[in-house]
Chain A
Amino acid sequence: MQFHVSTSSREPIYRQLAGQIREAVARGQLSAGDKLPTVRELSEELVVNPNTIARTYRELERDGVLHTRQGKGVFIAKPDNELTKTARNKKLHELLDRLLTDAVYLGFSEEEVLAQMVERLGQFQFAQQE
């Protein structure tokens, strides 16, 4: 897993990294149980303050993406959906609406958006149907 930070970005570094880890999990590049580099390793590799890395890990742990095993390291957590189906549905709708609004302003047709969507779906790992 290759991370990168950009200081010309508007996003704070800890959020850039959190986003990259989330995305990697969603795309299946990282899966539950995978070990992440230690704070020190990542800090030295990316030339970033170790506190920033620690903060990324802390926030992701809070959101249930990661979990720390004392003395062993930081691992990708098993997906654990605390939210109810309705709440998750609501969130998904909001996200889709935002995406579709932008797509309309960018001037895409319905078919184009759908085709793009289907094409990209294959690149992500979704939960199995219950």
Chain B
Amino acid sequence: MFRTLMLKELREMWWLPVLAWIVMSGCVLYQMGLGYCLTCGGLYWKQNLNSTPPYLHPVPFFNQDLMLQLALVGTGLAIVLASWQTWGESLCRTWNFLLHRPVRRNTIIRSKLAIGLTLLLAGTGLPLLFYALWAARPGNHANPFQWWMVLPMLRIWFATTVIYLGVFLCGVREARWVGSRFWPLVPAGMILFVQYMSASRNGRMGWVFDCTANGLVIGSALMLLAAIPYAARNRDFS
């Protein structure tokens, strides 16, 4: 039954990460030098890719532009996914239909979270993986590359889950007025910002700051994961 519920979520959501994947792939390809090749009329862009001067190639993953793009695309995807999964059910008035299925309410919420998180991480993660594999292969670019260099990007990538969970919590939470319904978004946004600052400065903020940022992301993700089923249990689906 968990599988049935996940399939239902997947069927409704699959196109969203595909959209994000396309956007993110565009960003990655640009960083890989596609932009340069296009501007120089690169019909032989594969060839050019290998022979472009190093300064036209940013060092893979040590790249403020791509980090910002990742944060933005990830945030957008997180917001749309989580809203769709929660307010979507409210708008179509299908909560009552869904929650009456003979499974625990927690199971229903967990199936939504499982698919939502998977799609969010896959949507922005697959282009990054492709980028990393490309960067790790010798001869593709004239820069040093080691796997630890992926880490800062990975930290931002993972931090978008806080936004997803925050929006999801807003969607299942009950609140007296619209404003207070959205308050979980404030800390979630701040945490992503701190993590972005920490990751994009790559160690220059000091290890204490970096560890705090990481701790905040993981801690708040866990807290939100616990809060969401609780909120869903204590809410009126009228």
**Direct contact between A and B in the complex (CB less than 8 angstroms)?**
no
